[in-house]
Amino acid sequence: MVVMFIKNTSSEILDELYQATKESTHSWKEAQRVVENLVKVVVKLAMQLQIHHWMHSLAMMTLNLQQVDSTSNRYMLAAELQEAGPESPGNQPQLTARSH
């Protein structure tokens, strides 16, 4: 799945990181682990940015509702909030103690 998001430049940088780590540690397993952990962190950060963008949009919609008295917007906001629920991604910790 991550392959979809990696462009040629990023791929070349990851290859260089792998080669440099492999040469310095003399272990292909260690080099592979370093690259995998880097990719995991980048994916988690991208998820955090998506969640932040969604929460910002929801906050802006809430502010607009205070300025404009429109029942259709209120119903739309209520539906969004109910859809998110208490288990929405924004309410759950994304980076765990095991994250690198």
Average pLDDT in the 7-27 region? Answer: 86
Residue 84's pLDDT band, with cuts at 50, 70 and 90, is: confident
pTM: 0.52
Residue 25: per-residue pLDDT: 92
Mean pLDDT of 67-89: 68
Least confident of 6-20, 39-53, 84-98: 84-98
Tell me, what's the pLDDT at 61? Answer: 80
**Cβ pair 93, 57 in contact under 8 A:** no
| CA 78/CA 72 separation, integer angstroms | 10
Q: Decide if pLDDT at 72 tops 80.
A: no
Residue-level pLDDT at 5: 61
A 10 A CB-CB count for 91 gives: 11
